Amino acid sequence: MSPVRRIPLVSATNRVLLVLFAGLVLLFGTVIGTPLFRLGTLRAMALQVPQLGLLSLAMMIALLSGGLDLSIIAVADFSALVSAFLLTNIPADPGGLGILLQVLCLLAGLLVAATIGAINGVIIAYLDVSPILTTLGTMTMIKGLSVGLTHGGVISGFPPLVLFLGNANLLGVPVPLVILLLVAWPVAVMLNRSPFGNLIAMIGSNIAAVRYSGVDTRWVLIRIYVLSGLLAGLAGIIMMARFNSANAAYGESFLLVTVLAAVLGGVDPSGGFGKVSGLLIALAILQLISTGFNLLGLSEFLTLTIWGVTLVSIAGLGVLRQRLPSRRRAISPGQTSSGPISPRAER
């Protein structure tokens, strides 16, 4: 099936999302007034977005390849715990050596995250296990490892470098947001312009065709899940820096929300299509709803409801737009509405 004929979940996604975002700013701006635009509010939003943002990026890479990575939260927490354990056990040294050691501790966490990602990739690529099931297994096991080693406890008390990553400002912009943007940009360039990004999208569209055209799809799959793991590990470090502690259960409620954010941002859950820019706008929308409701004194749980409703309505809008203008809907044979991820999610 050629990519051109494929109907993405939402057509002209970014336009719809931007209109939605503008509408929400207008709506909340009218109802709430100036508190919405106060520096404190904006700063709070900028501090909350990056964790979900990095995790959503990790999920998005897997979704683009037609898979799913359920292990991202477990990986984030585990690598944060590894970094936290090392950070709290190295000798305190205020000089350059101390900083170097601390950076090494953080890198060790990322290395662990990449390793788990590689394990995911190997199982998916070489044992032919579907990504959902593989990552369901590693999620349970890695979470179990974190809980088993820490007994559910918290590791805390970090050097200033870590606190800087979580809470400081650079030119008025919170460092976590800077990190998100610094990561999102190269990821976007990679997805849109590099051969690897191309391969991810092609694998998400039709893995058999890619394999038959001589690409080592297994190696690409491993790299996809390593990258997903790395982004999750980075999210874990940001969470650890934000909360000044690491724990086996931080951010668990984010898992399904990352899928929502990615799909809302225009990522086709059956693979192949999606842009980082769409994801970022979707994140801004989700955060705006969350902050707006918070300022209105509405329950955080109502936010969850609205997030779900937003996704379903955007999808509904997509269907309406397909049906109304012309009756000739291209029905692709494989596109059954009930398939869990895609007909070929489990090869």
Partner 1 sequence: MRSTTSPGMFLGAFRRTHEFRLLIATVGLIAILSVSSRRFLTLQNGLDLLTSYAFSGMLAAGLLVVLVSGGIDISFTAIASVAQYVALVAVMHLHGGWLMLFAIGLGIGTALGMLNAVLISTLRISSIIVSIAMLNVYFGLLMFLSHGNQLFNMPDWFLNAFSWVLWTDSEQNPYVLNAQIIGLFVCFALSWLLLNRTSIGRQIYALGGNAEAAARVGYNAWRLNLVVYGYMGFIAGLASLAQAQLAQSVAPNVLVGRELNVLAAVVLGGASLTGGQGTVLGAILGVAVLACMENGLILLGVSSYWTQFFDGAVILVAVSTIAWERRRQRAAMRRVIAAPAGAAVARQG
| Residue environment code for 9-47, b if the CB has 16+ CB neighbours within 10 A, otherwise e | bbeebbebbeebbeebbeebeeebeeebeeeebeeebbb
Closest to partner 1 by CB, 39 vs 127, is 127
Residue in the structure block whose two tokens are 């931007």:
18
- Between 56 and 102, name the residue whose CB sits nearer to partner 1: 56
* 67 or 109: CB nearest partner 1: 67
What is the spatial distance between Cα 339 and Cα 329, in angstroms, rounded to a whole number? 19
Indicate the residue among 163 and 317 with the shorter CB distance to partner 1: 317
Pair 117, 237: CB distance under 8 Å: no
Backbone Cα Rg of the chain? 21
111-170 binders of partner 1 (CB under 8 A):
123, 127-130, 132-134, 136-145, 147-148, 151-152
Integer CA distances (angstroms), 172 to 14, 167, 176, 184, 240, in order: 28, 11, 12, 20, 21
Among 166, 269, 272, 274, binds partner 1 (CB under 8 A): 269
For residue 245, list its beta bridge partners.
156
For residue 220, state whether it binds partner 1 (rule: CB under 8 A).
no
- Interface with partner 1 (CB under 8 A), residue from 34, 89, 326, 337: 337
State which of residues 1, 100, 170, 309 lies at the interface with partner 1 (CB under 8 A). Answer: 309
Residues 235-264 touching partner 1, rule: CB under 8 A, are 252, 256-257, 259-260, 263
Distance CA 331, CA 204 (A): 19
**% helix, strand, coil for the chain, step of 5:** 70, 5, 25
* Residue 343 in the binding site for partner 1 (CB under 8 A): yes
Judged by beta carbon, residue 174 or residue 269, the one nearer partner 1 is: 269
Does residue 1 touch partner 1 according to CB under 8 A?
no
**CB under 8 A: which stretch of 51-59, 75-83, 229-237, 298-306 binds partner 1?**
298-306
Q: Torsion angle of alpha carbons 284, 290, 292, 296, nearest 10°?
A: 180
* CB nearer to partner 1: pick between 217 and 342: 342
Total binding residues toward partner 1, as defined by CB under 8 A: 62
Question: Which residues here bind partner 1, judged by CB under 8 A?
Answer: 9, 68, 70, 123, 127-130, 132-134, 136-145, 147-148, 151-152, 252, 256-257, 259-260, 263, 269-270, 298-299, 301-309, 311-312, 315-316, 319, 333-343, 345-346
